[in-house]
């Protein structure tokens, strides 16, 4: 049964809706950096002067006062000889200190997204007359 509407009486309410975008952000891992130290061997040449001892034997002729004298006994003399030997001592020294830290920077990204918006379509048939009145309702009012 259709009810007849009185003049100015609301017959039906229809809400038109539109999607709005809300932005949420979250941290995600975008990559990884591996930092490590590597030992590299290089050859280094250094000139080091060293001191060595050498034995010098110098013979001097001495005229004999007594040519028939007994021959002198042979003597053996031992003389130690020395030289410097190179001793290599390696010790690490700090050449550089590396600081590693995160740095944040601000970048603006443009985001495009399609949203849906409902609009009112009116189809009439026959002799139907429709008058559209636009009013603005503030939020919070019903």
String of b and e for 3-19 (b: at least 16 CB within 10 Å)? eeeeeeeeeeeeeeeee
- In DSSP notation, 85-134 reads --------------------------------B--------TT-------
Instruction: Summarize pLDDT for 52-71 with one digit per residue, the tens.
Output: 999 988 888 877 776 665 55
pLDDT in tens, 85-97: 999 999 999 999 9
**44 φ, ψ to 5°?**
-125, 130
> For 18-22, 45-49, 73-77, which range has the lowest pLDDT when averaged over its residues?
73-77
β-partners of residue 52 are 83
Report which of 81, 87, 84, 102 is spatially closest to residue 35, judged by C-alpha positions: 102
Closest Cα partner for 50 from 81, 84, 87, 89?
84
Q: Is the pLDDT of residue 28 over 60?
A: yes
- Per-residue pLDDT of 98-128, as tens digits, reads 999 999 999 999 999 999 999 988 899 999 8
């Amino acid at each position: 049964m259709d009810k007849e509407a009185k003049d100015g009486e609301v017959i039906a309410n229809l809400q038109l809706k539109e999607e709005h975008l809300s932005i949420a952000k979250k941290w995600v891992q975008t990559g990884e950096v591996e930092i490590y130290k590597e030992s590299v061997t290089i050859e280094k040449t250094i000139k080091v002067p060293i001191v060595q001892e050498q034995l010098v034997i110098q013979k001097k002729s001495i005229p004999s006062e007594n040519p028939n004298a007994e021959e002198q006994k042979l003597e053996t003399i031992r003389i130690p000889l020395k030289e410097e030997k190179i001793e290599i001592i390696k010790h690490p020294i700090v050449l550089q200190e590396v600081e590693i830290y995160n740095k944040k920077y601000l970048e603006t990204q443009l985001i495009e997204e399609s949203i849906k918006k409902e609009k009112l379509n009116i189809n009439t048939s026959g002799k139907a007359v429709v008058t559209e009145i636009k009013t603005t309702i503030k939020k919070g009012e019903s």
